[in-house]
Structure 1
Amino acid sequence: MSNPVFVLLHGAWHTARSWDKLVSELTIYGSSPPTPDWSADVELIHRIVSELVEEGRDVVIVMHSFSGMTGGTALDKLDKPLRMAKILSGGVVRLVYIVAFLVLEGLQHSPRGTRDNMVGIITFLPEDVKEMLYQDMDDQTVAELAKDLQPQSFAAFWSTTTHATWRHIPTTYVLCLKNKPNTMMAAQYLVDSTKASGPHKIDNLIKVNAGHSPFISRPEWTANMLIDEAKRSV
């Protein structure tokens, strides 16, 4: 069996460049203007992963922060057990949530029109970036990372999940201990409440002494963790 493919889904405000350090480690081993909702993101994730599994590839989905909502919704009918039952090769073999939204079906992050009745996009104030996203990095690194943050559409927070992929696919949750205390408590609550909600395949909780973005602050650790989780799944 060939090695699985990692699909990396970045969170709000970030771009694909946020994964650069992690991608470098993995290779060692071999929105603006505003959008009306997240449907385009969900469709893109589903299409990309569908193409990979149709090629017979095993896929590990890695989600950070807000992308747990889009990723968790986008993977309906792409899990490997379901495809095997249809005598099809390939499929999603594991989900890895890195302090990501692990939520139930039908969850809306914020009711439409909330956030002080504002519309359009949200941007970060420079002085808030370290506290919110990069708690365990030095100020110079944070300043450079902040340059790459992009505006985030308000409307993404108004969309509603339609699928809970973690009920069907083995799932790992990474809890970052240097994150904001309220964010860390919220993440633990998500894990506990989803487990209590009914059938699930959340089989591993990993705690790491890192801030909100360990794939940047600790890329080697993150790469090794992902490879270990992939090995358990194929």
Structure 2
Amino acid sequence: MVPGTALDVGADSSLNLKKQDWEKDIEVIRQTVSELVVEQDVVVVMHSFSGMTGGTALEGLDKESCLAKGLKGGVVRLIYIVAFLVPEGFQHSAHGTRDQMVPEMKTDLEKGVITILPEDVKNMFYQDLDDETAAELAKDLRPQSFGAFWSTTTHAAWRVIPTTYILTLKDVPTTVVAAKYLIETAKASGPHKIDNVIEAEAGHSPFISKPEWTAETLIKEGTRTAELS
């Protein structure tokens, strides 16, 4: 599973805004996967924002490329859970701005961070959880760095690696519309390997609200890939 990593989460005013980007995120993902594919096949699962960093970090780690290098494994499937399925050259927001960010994303340009207020957490992330559980989860949330939104993708792994997209229909309506748009435009943009779109009656975080269903779906998709590879 590709989460937010070093720079994305917990940023503070000590960071130099001009130097904020997701380089460390890419490095962590790429190093982790590179170590695994030496001996085994890998399924990479990405949720929400991490579709951008994951899609960028996996260049040259698809099964065919890994076999050509003499490695035993490779990335055999990508699974996007209501995640950014975007092409090369995608930038969420122009550097120095909060463009494309929804009102619930409270921004502090001086500190270089984005936060979600406790009262907005359920609507943003945990739509299908009870209020008490959502409030408890909100305690663990941390600010996110502007650098994550100002960086630009350089690779679209879904063009060369078989891809499953899990679309959560109980998410924020605008997010559902945006996710459908990303899927459609990705398929229309040129070569791609998006071969399965699964619609789920779940909110933005199905691994919390529907953990058994999520685990079963990931295993099924990963196994299907392994059998075909």
Q: What TM-score comes out, normalization by structure 1 length?
A: 0.86
| Bigger mean CA deviation after superposition, 82-91 or 169-178 | 82-91
- Runs of at least 5 residues in structure 2 that lack an aligned partner in the other structure: 99-106
Match of 1:24 in 2: none
1:118 paired to 2:109:
yes
Match of 1:138 in 2: 130
The percent of aligned pairs where both chains have the same amino acid is 64
Letter in 2 for 1:203: D
1:225 paired to 2:204:
no
**CA apart distance, 1:89:** 1.0
Q: Structure 2 residue aligned with 1:48, among 24, 32, 35?
A: 32
**CA apart distance, 1:11:** 5.0
Letter in 1 for 2:28: L
Letter in 2 for 1:206: I
Distance 2:138 2:4 in 1: 14
Q: Structure 1 residue aligned with 2:186, among 169, 194, 199?
A: 194
Q: Matches of residues 110-189 of structure 1 in structure 2 within 5 Å?
A: 110-115=93-98, 118-119=109-110, 120-189=112-181
Call closer, same or farther: CA 1:43–1:220 in 2, change over 3 Å: same
- Runs of at least 5 residues in structure 1 that lack an aligned partner in the other structure: 1-7, 17-30
Distance 1:83 1:118 in 2: 41
SS of the equivalent of 2:190 reads: coil
Q: Structure 2 residue aligned with 1:97, among 73, 80, 83?
A: 80
Kept in 1, the 8 Å contact 2:108–2:114? The answer is no
Deviating 4+ runs (over 3 angstroms): none
- Aligned length, in residue pairs: 210
**CA apart distance, 1:156:** 1.1
Q: What is the CA deviation profile of residues 189-209 of structure 1, one whole-angstrom value per residue up to 9, with x for unaligned ones?
A: 000000000000000000000
